[in-house]
């Protein structure tokens, strides 16, 4: 038996049976490629006797092309993908199928970005490919993923029809379950070697050449399309035979479709995918109650096995509900429904079926929406009606189209009652998930129980909350839904502060056990609980246990790692295993992790495990609640109605509750909502020392979350400030500023994540006490109340007049209001300071096209967004189109803005004779170079609008609408290196070549950060990343040099932690340049294996080592007779290794591949010097473009 | 000519022992040292901090990459099975033992009384003939008492002695109030020998950047006088072996230290500067010098100029201090 997840199950078979694996990272399919890469990196040969070649491509389109080529070259090739990735593969899928090529594509099916992106599971992606000619086989469980991966591989080789094998993203791809392994020898026997030989014989070869991929004309194309019909007709039969052969070897039987339920069922539901699990539990429960209901599981979806479906349906069926996990807007039913309806109609037409059952179709489970046995029961119940609803939805409340069925949230399946459910609330970083994965494996190994684990994550990167759902019991577990309310026998809260945020005891059943990690001694635990929690504990007769896990971790040298402590406590009180066995197993797991490498670590863990047993306390529960603490409202203070009604519900984790009418239909959401989500993550926050501070502005620049601000104001404005609200006259710059201008630096205490970068960048030290700076981290509990009051007052102060600030200095620029605040980015994120800076400088006239990636997730992942508005209501207009098209999307925005602007200018000219001629002239000729210019233009536009209001001309009305476009707009194209260097490079290149005025900000983390650190073309030589386990063997692409080659592109390479003023200058230069600008920004990332409290140090080291030279290439300098390239950093001054050794991504290679590491470091060192020399020489070049003087001898003369 | 030397209970063909340096990192340079005539070799040090820092870093950045991101369970590929700092060291001990005939002395460098001492057993199992313990400890806080500092060494040595049976050599710094007493304590706690003296890296100040710089200034010939004095003073007063280390650059230096009473003479800087062949030159010099002086065996040389052996005991008085400063030269028999 194996305890693994769906992705690993698919990857195991794919790896064993293929030679070429072309991949590209995409959630939730990435782990399949990562498994394959890891096995290949370890040199594991497969059944074919080879180590598969894993090739990472620049996009899924590229991966599909490479797969097509490998197949045509005679190799056995496979791939893994999902969602947008699958859409990018469609053109090649038609080709591969059209050429009757055997291959299997494994898909962790996922939603498609429509009104919004979603990484979660449904069938929208696979349904978009059903015309390609791929056979489609659907797995509903982890066991089936492994089994169907092989059956698909067996069948494709025989049928010559390519297969798309899919299973539900997250629900199946990420569910851990105990399954039976298919031994390699069984795989070997089941794969038809003759079919492989035939595939190889069809390969393109100059030794027996053919033409394939011709261009056909009206005369033969159609016939050609029809010529494949026999292959498709034979495919269901082949799959059936493969399933039978599979059963003979493994004992596990499958059908093309399978019926489950009452033998004389009258009501039947049909569906495919993981929803089958919940439906099966519902059907079993209802059949046990005597209800004539059943379930038809569809396994093979294409070619659609209509006959098998008719054979499987009980003759007694009166009504059928077909459930689709997809949405086809505008259709009168979704695809599976239509296929079933068509099959029945055809059977009726052919006379096989006399009387047609009533058939209806419905949608469920989009984007991993819960689908429970209660919902399945509601669907079966709806079939009692004489006219069953169609189309219906289940799982939401549709108060707009009234499609939704009501369901009984209290329905519990019999299977659910026979198993044990547990839920654990933890922080992403506290190891709760990995501990639970280990627990599942321990239970799976040490008992006969079946086990299941599923993990829920929120959308934050810093302070992410995880909920682990564990189930175990004697029977196979088909519960493909979260642990339901009143079901959990065990609830654990690994973070004390979650108690007031999440109503976790709603999950607990009567008599459940609740384990709480709390710093309070046992006698004070009860009083520390909110009243609502106390009441639930009393009402449900919950057994309460407490443990001070952080205390134990501290005392045993475990730092803040509480995972094994909480895990031990779980086993000690849950009684699943006897405590001795559990402790032995946990210790064995620890030993497996650290082995002999970490004797001290082992001892520490052992001590923590032992201590957790000694410090676990049963808390006596009084008869009555007595707490004065109550659950605080989700949003404190005033908020707009939408935020109170919708956003607050989402923040509270109750996002399933809002009805359809509450959700904007076109994906349009308000800005400024992150400010309502007070997460209070920091243990220490910075406090300003006004006496030491020189007002340099570095701390607000470095803050990744815009949680530390500076503001200037007339001293008088601070009348009535809280006593602790210190403010002082601004140092320096007094000439430009009005007299008596004061300044205050202020932290937002509930939005700071405590990363400490502000303190790190502070250049001022107290001479009396060198430990002390002008800003100092202070334990939050000492200052929270005070600083909340100060923050509130700080916000109430008016923003300073932008015209009076010298934005070319950090002091001035950092006084500008950031319009990007409190994002969910990682603690110490290296990207967000750049975005924040851009919004400070240009946010009130900014349009942002944001490529998919980290920046689109912390930028626009609900429930909130960090983008916000200024007091006038202006702010960045933000949209994320796709990953691959961001440059093009941004260019489209630019074009539209230009058109709107031109239109406004045209109207203005048309109406000029009826307006103040000075106003018209100024409006048309305004240069809008700086804040003062922009301000004046805005004032002119306001006057214009007033003047237009008095004109009865329809053109005047039109111009009033368009007048704001007379103010310069700043278009920004933002994304990571995965976008700019790889998937979006073609578009980026085209936009650079367009000459249009766009500003491109590349947040270069040198890997695909959002999907887990896969190699991109920005990954440096010798760095270890996913798909470069042996170190990246080639140099990082020099994107800057490529852009400079155009000559008319502004290019800057920046690293704010190394030279902040250069970064500021580059942003100002880029924006002012009236052509394409490219800023490549060095962004340290957790994927580098560094502690991001060292973010700034890492940037400095990268610059000093020559890894990241700083420069600005400004084409405008050519006109001034200067070299366009200006280098802003010194030649490499430290060895490359002095930088690389500080980052695990490099350092680990010297352990795993010491020789290669040494070689790479030498090359990198030489390359850094060479690159700098090259730039230095380019910086000497003078270009004036003037023709050579007549005196110059004609070089072409003999 | 008989250069045989006894050291830590081992019999060496001659007293020249390269001390812990990068030269032992490669098999080729280690073999070159043996070919040049080295009597034994002390390996580069396995640092407590390096082992523990690697453990911590790997735990933090590889084993536990929990972030709780739905799209990324981890970031760096997890190689559970790569060799650790300790593994690599142990492999190297075994490799050196396999390819060299001379004794191989492993070297541990650390200051805490922690689990890392268990590594010593691994080193013994890997075939090390002896173990050198370098307690690179700077008593940096003014409230730490001398006794606490000394006791740290004793405790470490005690625990190490419990772990292993091979001889243990203690490498000591010169910063003890009573070096002789300290060496005695080491001997009583089970040390088979001491090496005098360890050199500490000295921080420097960059007056342009106002930052501290860590640099190692190579030893020079004058440095060896420090060891020479203490070797001479301890010769015949302690039972354990005495190795001289620090600043031994030439054959002349080596001869002086042997005359002072060193059982072995450690070489480092000079080998790094001139290559392993330098050892042969020094060996040749010793032999030529012995021939010139009509010595047949090294035992006749060793300790001949030690404090015990020098006739003019009054010359050990502190008054000679003035004389040294005066003349910048060292008079015969001036040890104290």
Q: How far apart are the first and last CA of chain B?
A: 33
Q: What angle, 0 to 180 degrees and rounded to 10, lies between the N-to-C axes of helices B277-293 and B251-260? A: 60
Give the SS3 label for residue A322. strand
Higher pLDDT pick, A36 / B200 = A36
Percent of chain A with pLDDT over 90: 91
- Predicted local distance difference test score (pLDDT) of residue B332: 44
For residue A885, name the pLDDT band (cuts at 50, 70, 90). Answer: very high
Q: What is the mean pLDDT of chain A?
A: 95
Is the minimum CB–CB distance between A465 and chain B shorter than 8 Å? yes
Closest of A15, A24, A75 to residue A42, by C-alpha:
A15
- B23 close to B29: Cβ distance less than 8 angstroms: yes
List, for residues A890-947, the tens digit of each pLDDT value: 999 999 999 999 999 999 999 999 999 999 999 999 999 999 999 999 999 999 999 9
pTM confidence score: 0.92
Distance from C-alpha of A465 to C-alpha of B12, rounded to nearest angstrom: 64
Per-residue pLDDT at A572? 94
ipTM of the shown complex:
0.90
**Contact flag A464-B67 (C-beta cutoff 8 Å):** yes
Q: What residue spans define the domains of chain A?
A: 2-204+226-250, 260-394, 419-619, 1006-1178
- Distance between CA A294 and CA A280 in Å, rounded? 8
Q: What is the pLDDT of residues A1065-1124, one digit of tens each?
A: 999 999 999 999 999 999 999 999 999 999 999 999 999 999 999 999 999 999 888 999
The answer to whether the Cβ–Cβ distance between A457 and B68 falls below 8 Å is yes
> Pick from A226, A285, A246: which is nearest to A146 by CA?
A246
Nearest to A1069, CA basis, from A1094, A1050, A1096: A1050
Question: What tokens does A593 get?
Answer: 């992790």
Beta strand residue intervals within B119-229, DSSP E: 130-134, 168-172, 193-196, 202-206, 211-215
| Partners of residue B75 in chain A, C-beta under 8 Å | 1007, 1009, 1012-1013, 1026, 1085-1087, 1089
DSSP per-residue codes, A123-172: SHHHHTTTTSS-EEEE--SHHHHHHHHHHHHHHHHHH---EEEEEETTTT
Nearest CA distance, B137 vs chain A (angstrom): 21
C-beta atoms of B77 and A34 within 8 A: yes
pLDDT at A325 over 80: yes
Interface contact A1148-B76, CB threshold 8 A: yes
Nearest CB neighbour to B55, from listed A119, A434, A601: A601
Q: For chain B, where are the E strands, in sequence order?
A: 5-7, 10-12, 16-18, 41-47, 104-109, 130-134, 168-172, 193-196, 202-206, 211-215, 241-244, 264-267
- Of the pLDDT bands very low, low, confident and very high (cuts 50, 70, 90), residue A303 is very high
Taking the CA of residue B215 and the nearest CA in chain A, the distance in Å comes to: 14
Question: Hey, how many other C-beta atoms are within 10 angstroms of the C-beta on B303?
Answer: 21
Stronger pLDDT, A270 or B67, i.e. the higher one: A270
Fold (CATH) for A1006-1178? Rossmann fold (3.40.50)
Q: Is A781 a catalytic residue?
A: no
Q: What is the mean pLDDT of residues A151-170?
A: 98
CATH, range A2-204+226-250: 3.40.50.970
Question: Helices B179-188 and B146-163, interaxial angle, to 10°?
Answer: 30
End-to-end CA distance of chain A: 84
Q: Is the peptide bond before A252 cis (omega within 30 degrees of 0)?
A: no
CB within 8 Å: A1090 and B114: no
Q: Which CATH number fits domain B5-225: 3.40.50.10890, 3.40.50.2300, 3.30.1330.40, 3.20.20.70?
A: 3.20.20.70
Predicted confidence at residue B308, as pLDDT, reads: 82
Q: What's the pLDDT at A1080?
A: 98
Select the more confidently predicted residue: A687 or B117: A687
Beta carbons of B115 and A1144 less than 8 Å apart: no
Can you say whether the dihedral through the CA atoms of B247, B251, B254, B256 is positive or negative?
Answer: negative
* Whether A27 is catalytic: yes
Smallest CA–CA separation between B72 and chain A, in Å?
4
Residues from chain B contacting residue A459 (CB–CB below 8 Å): 70
Q: Do B77 and A38 touch (CB under 8 A)?
A: yes
**Which one-letter DSSP state was computed for residue A243?**
H
Question: B216 pLDDT exceeds 90?
Answer: no
Half-sphere exposure (CA, 13 Å, Cβ side) for B60? 18
- Least reliable range by pLDDT among A669-683, A751-765, B244-258, B318-332: B318-332
pLDDT above 90 (res B333): no
Question: Looking at CA atoms only, how far is residue A430 from chain B in angstroms?
Answer: 7
Tell me the DSSP string of A653-706: T-TTSS-GGGS-TTS---S--GGG------SEEEEE-TTT-----HHHHH-TTS
Which residues of chain A lie closer than 8 angstroms to B68, CB-CB? 426-429, 433, 457-458, 464-466
**CA separation (Å) from A67 to A54, A101, A160, A523, A755?**
11, 11, 15, 64, 44
State the pLDDT at residue A596. 60
Identify each DSSP E strand in A477-628 by its residue range. 488-493, 508-517, 543-547, 617-619
CA–CA separation, A944 and A123 (whole Å): 52
> B224-234 vs B179-188: helix axis angle to the nearest 10?
60
Question: Which pLDDT tens digit goes with each residue over A569-591?
Answer: 999 999 899 999 999 999 998 88
Per-residue pLDDT for A822 more than 90? Answer: yes
Whether A37 and B116 lie within 8 Å, measured CB to CB: no
Distance CA A342, CA A359 (A): 11
Cα gap B157→B321, rounded to integer Å: 35
Mean pLDDT of B152-172: 93
**What's the rounded Cα separation, in Å, for the pair A1145 and A1166?**
19
Among B26, B71, B80, the strongest candidate for a mutation testing the A interface, having the largest count of A CBs within 10 A, is B71
pLDDT in tens, A250-266: 999 999 999 999 999 99
Asked if A1145 and B76 come within 8 Å (Cβ–Cβ), the reply is yes
On average, the pLDDT of chain B sits at 86
pLDDT exceeds cutoff 90 at B110: no
Distance between CA atoms of residues A1086 and A914, nearest Å: 60
Average pLDDT over residues A723-745: 90
Tokens of A177: 């379950």
From chain A residues 370-409, the ones with a CB under 8 A of any chain B CB are none
Q: Please, which pLDDT band fits residue A771 given cuts at 50, 70 and 90?
A: confident
Contact A1007 B60 (CB under 8 A): no
What DSSP designation does B200 have?
-
How many Cβ atoms from other residues are within 10 Å of residue A1015's Cβ? 22
Q: Which positions 200-229 of B are in contact with A (Cβ < 8 Å)?
A: none
Fold of A419-619: Pyruvate-ferredoxin Oxidoreductase; domain 3 (3.40.920)
Looking at the complex, report in whole angstroms how far the Cα of residue A594 sits from the nearest Cα belonging to chain B: 8
Gap between the Cα atoms of B72 and A858, Å rounded? 14
A1130 part of contact set with chain B, CB < 8 Å: no
Q: How big is the A-B interface in CB pairs under 8 Å?
A: 136
Closest Cβ–Cβ partner in B67, B80, B83 for A1086: B67
The partner residue sitting opposite A598, judged by closest CB among B59, B75, B76, is B59
**Integer CA distances (angstroms), B84 to A480, A1086, B108, in order:** 41, 22, 15
A857/A460 Cα distance (integer angstroms): 8
Which of A1084, A826, A1146 is CA-nearest to residue B67?
A826
**Omega before B197 within 30 of 0, i.e. cis:** yes
Mutate to test the interface with B, among A42, A592, A1012, A1028 (most CBs of B within 10 A): A1012
Please confirm, yes or no, whether A110 is among the known catalytic residues.
yes
Q: Give the residue among A614, A400, A398, A629 at the shortest CA–CA distance from A527.
A: A629
Buried-exposed string A265-279: b where 16+ CB fall within 10 A, e elsewhere: bbbbbbbbbbbbbbb
- A877 three-class SS: strand
Determine the Cα–Cα distance for residues A1066 and A816; give it in Å rounded to an integer. Answer: 17
Give B64's pLDDT tier (boundaries 50, 70, 90). confident
Q: Is A886 among the residues known to form the active site?
A: no
CB pair distance less than 8 Å for B76 and A1087: yes
Q: Is the pLDDT of residue B213 over 90?
A: no
Given a cut of 50, is residue B69 above it in pLDDT?
yes
What is the bridge-based pairing of β-strands A846-850 and A877-879? parallel
Per-residue model confidence (pLDDT) at position B317: 43
Confidence (pLDDT) at A1088: 96
Before B99, cis peptide (omega within 30)? no
CB < 8 Å to B59, chain A: 594, 598, 601
Cβ burial of A540 (10 Å; 0-12, 13-18, 19+) is middle
Judged against a pLDDT cut of 90, whether residue B336 lies above it is answered with no
Question: pLDDT tens across A941-978, in order?
Answer: 999 999 999 999 999 999 999 999 999 999 999 999 99
Nearest residue to B264 via CA among B204, B328, B195, B164:
B195
Instruction: Indicate the residue of A430, A600, A1024 with minimum beta-carbon distance to B115.
Output: A600
pLDDT (tens digit per residue) in A456-467: 998 889 888 999
State how far Cα B2 lies from the chain centre: 25
pLDDT digits (tens, 9 = 90+) for A691-702: 999 999 999 999
A598: confidence class by pLDDT, cuts 50, 70, 90 = low
pLDDT at A75: 98
Round to whole Å and give the CA distance between B271 and B33: 9
User: Is the pLDDT assigned to residue B232 strictly greater than 70?
Assistant: yes
In SS3 terms, A583-608 reads as HHHHHHHHHHHHHHHHHHHHHHHHHH
> Closest to A429 (Cβ–Cβ): which among B61, B66, B75?
B66
Residue with tokens 């300098």: A1117
Report d(CA A1016, CA A971) in Å as an integer.
26
Instruction: Collect all residues with Cβ–Cβ distance below 8 Å to B164 and sequence separation of at least 6.
Output: B120, B121, B123, B124, B131
pLDDT in tens, A1170-1188: 999 999 999 998 877 766 6
B-contacting residues of A 857-876, CB under 8 Å? 857
Q: Residue B327: pLDDT band by 50, 70, 90 thresholds?
A: very low
Instruction: Answer whether the bond into residue A1131 is a cis peptide, omega within 30°.
Output: no
Q: What is the pLDDT of residues B233-244, one digit of tens each?
A: 999 999 999 999
The pLDDT of residue A1196 is 46
What is the rounded radius of gyration, in angstroms, for the C-alpha atoms of chain A? Answer: 32
What tens digit of pLDDT does each residue of B123-159 get? 999 999 999 998 878 888 888 898 999 999 999 999 9
Which residues of A, range 592-651, sit inside 8 Å of B by Cβ? 593-601, 603
CA-nearest residue of chain A to B73?
A: A1012
Is B66 in contact with A433 (Cβ distance < 8 A)?
A: yes
Rg of chain B on CA atoms, in Å: 22
Query: What are the backbone dihedrals phi and psi of residue A129, each rounded to the nearest 5 degrees, phi first?
Result: -115, 10
Region of B236 (left: φ > 0; alpha: ψ -120 to 50; beta: rest) is left
Q: Using one digit for the tens of pLDDT, what is the confidence trace for A56-101? A: 999 999 999 999 999 999 999 999 999 999 999 999 999 999 999 9
Same fold, A2-204+226-250 and A260-394: yes
Quick one: which of A507, A527, A506 has its CA closest to A518? A527
CB-based contact (8 Å) between B236 and chain A? Answer: no
Measured between beta carbons, the chain B residues lying within 8 angstroms of A1086 are 67, 75
What is A260-394's CATH number, 3.40.50.10860, 3.40.50.720, 3.40.50.920, 2.60.120.620? 3.40.50.920
Q: In angstroms, what CA-CA distances link A261 with A257, A283, A289, B175?
A: 13, 6, 12, 86
The active-site residue out of A19, A34, A56, A60 is A60
């Amino acid at each position: 038996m194996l305890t693994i997840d769906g992705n690993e199950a698919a990857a195991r078979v794919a790896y064993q049976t293929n030679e070429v694996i072309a991949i590209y990272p995409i959630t939730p399919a990435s782990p399949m490629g990562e498994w394959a890469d890891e096995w290949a990196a370890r040199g594991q040969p497969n059944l074919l006797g080879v180590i598969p070649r894993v090739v990472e491509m620049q996009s899924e389109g590229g991966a599909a092309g490479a797969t097509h080529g490998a197949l045509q070259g005679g190799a056995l090739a496979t791939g893994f993908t999902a969602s947008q990735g699958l859409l990018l593969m469609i053109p090649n899928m038609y080709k591969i199928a059209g050429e009757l090529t055997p291959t299997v594509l494994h898909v962790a099916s996922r939603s498609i970005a429509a009104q919004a992106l979603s990484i979660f599971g449904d069938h929208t992606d696979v349904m978009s490919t059903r015309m390609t000619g791929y056979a489609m086989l659907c797995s509903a469980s982890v066991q089936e993923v492994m089994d169907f991966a092989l059956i698909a591989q067996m069948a494709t080789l025989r049928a010559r029809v390519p297969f798309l094998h899919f299973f539900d993203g997250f629900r199946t791809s990420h569910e851990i379950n105990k399954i039976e392994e298919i031994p390699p020898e069984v795989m070997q026997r089941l794969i038809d070697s003759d079919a492989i030989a035939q595939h190889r014989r069809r390969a393109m070869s100059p030794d027996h050449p053919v033409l394939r991929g011709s261009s056909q004309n009206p005369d033969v194309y159609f016939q050609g399309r029809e010529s494949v019909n026999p292959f498709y007709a034979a495919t269901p039969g082949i799959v059936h035979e493969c399933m039978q052969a599979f059963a003979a070897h493994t004992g596990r039987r499958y059908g093309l479709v399978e019926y489950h339920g009452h033998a004389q069922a009258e009501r039947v539901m049909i569906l495919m995918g993981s929803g089958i699990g919940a439906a099966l539990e519902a059907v079993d429960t209802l059949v046990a109650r005597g209800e004539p209901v059943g379930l038809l599981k569809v396994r093979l979806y294409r070619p659609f096995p209509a006959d098998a479906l008719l054979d499987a349906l009980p003759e007694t069926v009166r009504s059928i509900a077909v459930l689709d996990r997809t949405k086809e807007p505008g259709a009168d039913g979704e695809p599976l429904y239509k296929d079933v309806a068509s099959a029945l109609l055809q059977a009726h037409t052919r006379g096989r079926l006399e009387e047609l059952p009533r058939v209806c179709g419905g949608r469920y489970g989009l984007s991993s929406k819960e689908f429970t046995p209660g919902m399945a029961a509601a669907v079966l119940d709806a079939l009692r009606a004489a006219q069953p609803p169609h189309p219906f939805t289940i799982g939401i409340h549709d108060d707009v189209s009234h499609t939704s069925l009501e369901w009984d949230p209290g329905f519990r399946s019999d299977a659910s009652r026979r198993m044990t459910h547990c839920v654990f609330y933890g922080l992403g970083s506290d190891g709760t998930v990995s501990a639970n994965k280990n627990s599942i494996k321990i239970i799976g190994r040490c008992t006969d129980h079946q086990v299941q684990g599923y993990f829920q994550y929120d959308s934050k990167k810093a302070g992410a909350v995880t909920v682990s759902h564990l189930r175990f019991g004697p029977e196979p577990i088909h519960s493909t839904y979260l642990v339901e309310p009143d079901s959990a026998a065990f609830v654990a809260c690994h973070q004390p502060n979650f108690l007031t945020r999440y109503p976790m005891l709603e999950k607990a059943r009567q008599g459940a056990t609740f384990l709480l990690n709390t710093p309070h001694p046992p006698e004070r635990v009860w009083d520390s609980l909110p009243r609502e929690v106390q009441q639930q504990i009393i009402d449900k007769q919950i057994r309460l246990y407490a443990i001070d896990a952080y205390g134990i971790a501290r005392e045993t040298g475990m730092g803040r790692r509480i995972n094994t402590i909480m895990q031990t406590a779980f086993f000690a009180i849950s009684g699943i295993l006897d405590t001795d066995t559990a402790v032995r197993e946990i210790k064995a797991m620890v030993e497996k992790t650290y082995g002999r490498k970490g004797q001290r670590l082992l001892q520490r863990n052992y001590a923590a495990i032992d201590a957790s047993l000694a410090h676990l306390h049963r808390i006596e529960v009084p008869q009555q609640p007595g707490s004065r603490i109550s659950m605080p409202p989700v949003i404190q203070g005033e908020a707009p109605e939408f935020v109170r009604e919708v956003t607050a519900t989402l923040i509270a984790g109750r996002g399933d509750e809002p009805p359809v009418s509450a959700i904007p239909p076109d994906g349009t959401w308000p800005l400024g909502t992150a400010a309502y989500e007070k997460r209070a993550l920091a243990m220490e926050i910075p406090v300003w020392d006004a006496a030491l501070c020189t007002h340099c502005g570095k701390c607000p620049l470095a803050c990744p979350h815009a949680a530390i601000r500076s503001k200037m104001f007339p001293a008088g404005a601070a009348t009535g400030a809280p006593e602790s609200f210190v403010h002082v006259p601004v140092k320096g710059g007094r000439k430009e500023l009005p007299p008596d201008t004061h300044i205050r630096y202020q932290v937002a205490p509930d939005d700071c994540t405590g990363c400490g970068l502000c303190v790190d960048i502070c250049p001022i030290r107290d001479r009396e006490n060198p430990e002390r700076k002008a800003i100092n981290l202070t334990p939050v509990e000492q200052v929270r109340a005070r600083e909340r009051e100060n923050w509130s007052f700080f916000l109430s102060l008016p923003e300073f007049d932008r015209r009076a600030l010298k934005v070319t200095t950090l002091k001035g620029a950092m006084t500008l209001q950031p319009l990007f605040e409190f994002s969910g980015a990682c603690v110490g994120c290296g990207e967000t300071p750049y975005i924040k800076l851009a919004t400070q400088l240009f946010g009130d006239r900014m349009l942002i096209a944001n490529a998919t990636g980290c920046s689109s997730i912390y930028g626009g992942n609900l429930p909130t967004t960090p983008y916000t508005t200024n007091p006038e209501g202006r702010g960045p207009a933000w949209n994320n189109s796709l990953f691959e098209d961001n440059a093009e999307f941004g260019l489209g925005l630019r074009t539209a803005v230009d058109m709107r602007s031109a239109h406004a200018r045209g109207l203005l000219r048309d109406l000029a004779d009826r307006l103040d001629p000075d106003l018209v002239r100024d409006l048309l000729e305004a240069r809008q170079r700086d804040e003062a210019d922009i301000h004046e233009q805005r004032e002119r536009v306001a006057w214009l609008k007033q003047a237009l209001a008095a004109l009865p001309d329809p053109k005047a009305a039109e111009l009033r609408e368009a007048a704001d476009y007379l103010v310069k707009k700043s278009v920004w194209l933002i994304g990571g290196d995965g976008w700019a260097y790889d998937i979006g490079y073609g578009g980026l290149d085209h936009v650079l070549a367009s000459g249009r005025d766009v500003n491109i900000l590349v947040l270069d983390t040198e890997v695909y950060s959002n999907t887990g650190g896969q190699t991109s073309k920005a990954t440096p030589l010798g760095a270890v990343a996913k798909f470069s386990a042996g170190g990246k063997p080639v140099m990082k692409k020099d994107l800057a040099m490529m852009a400079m080659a155009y000559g008319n592109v502004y290019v800057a390479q920046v690293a704010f932690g190394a030279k902040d003023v250069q970064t500021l200058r580059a942003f100002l230069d880029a924006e002012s340049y009236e052509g394409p600008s490219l800023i490549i920004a060095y962004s340290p990332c957790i994927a580098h294996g560094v502690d991001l409290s060292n973010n700034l140090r890492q940037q400095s080291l990268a610059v000093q080592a020559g890894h990241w030279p700083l420069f600005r290439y400004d084409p405008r300098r050519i006109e001034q007779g200067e070299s366009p390239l200006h280098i802003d950093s010194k030649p490499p001054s430290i060895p490359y290794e002095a930088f690389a050794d500080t980052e695990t991504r490099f350092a680990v290679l010297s352990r795993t591949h010491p020789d290669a590491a040494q070689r790479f470091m030498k090359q990198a060192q030489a390359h850094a010097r060479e690159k700098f020399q090259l730039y230095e020489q380019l910086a000497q070049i003078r270009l004036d473009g003037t023709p050579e003087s007549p005196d110059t001898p004609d070089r072409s003369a003999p | 000519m008989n250069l045989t030397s006894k050291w830590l209970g081992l019999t060496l063909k001659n007293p020249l022992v390269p001390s812990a340096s990068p030269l032992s990192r490669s098999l080729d340079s280690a073999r070159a040292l043996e070919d040049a005539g080295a009597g034994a070799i002390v390996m580069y040090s396995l640092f407590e901090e390096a082992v523990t820092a690697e453990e911590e870093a790997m735990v933090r950045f590889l084993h536990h990459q929990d972030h709780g991101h739905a799209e990324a369970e981890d970031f760096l590929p997890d190689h559970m099975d790569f060799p650790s700092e300790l593994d690599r060291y142990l492999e190297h001990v075994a490799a050196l033992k396999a390819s060299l005939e001379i004794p191989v002395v492993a070297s541990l460098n650390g200051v805490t009384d922690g689990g890392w001492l268990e590594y010593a057993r691994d080193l013994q199992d890997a075939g090390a003939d002896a173990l050198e313990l370098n307690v690179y400890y700077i008593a940096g806080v003014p409230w730490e008492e001398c006794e606490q500092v000394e006791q740290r060494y004793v405790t470490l040595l005690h625990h190490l002695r419990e772990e292993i049976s091979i001889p243990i050599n203690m490498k000591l710094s010169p910063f003890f109030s009573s070096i002789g007493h300290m060496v005695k304590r080491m001997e009583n706690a089970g040390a088979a020998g001491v090496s005098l003296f360890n050199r500490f890296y000295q921080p420097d100040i960059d007056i342009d950047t106002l930052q501290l710089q860590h640099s190692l200034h190579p030893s020079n010939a004058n440095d060896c006088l420090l060891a020479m004095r203490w070797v001479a003073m301890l010769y015949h007063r302690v039972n354990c072996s005495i190795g001289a280390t620090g600043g031994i650059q030439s054959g002349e230096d080596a001869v002086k230290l042997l005359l002072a009473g060193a059982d072995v003479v450690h070489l480092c800087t000079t080998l790094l500067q001139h290559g392993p062949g330098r050892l042969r030159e020094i060996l040749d010099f010793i032999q030529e010098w012995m021939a010139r002086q009509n010595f047949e065996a090294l035992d006749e040389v060793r300790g001949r100029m030690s404090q015990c052996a020098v006739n003019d005991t009054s010359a050990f008085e502190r008054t000679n201090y003035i004389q040294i400063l005066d003349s910048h030269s060292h008079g015969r028999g001036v040890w104290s």
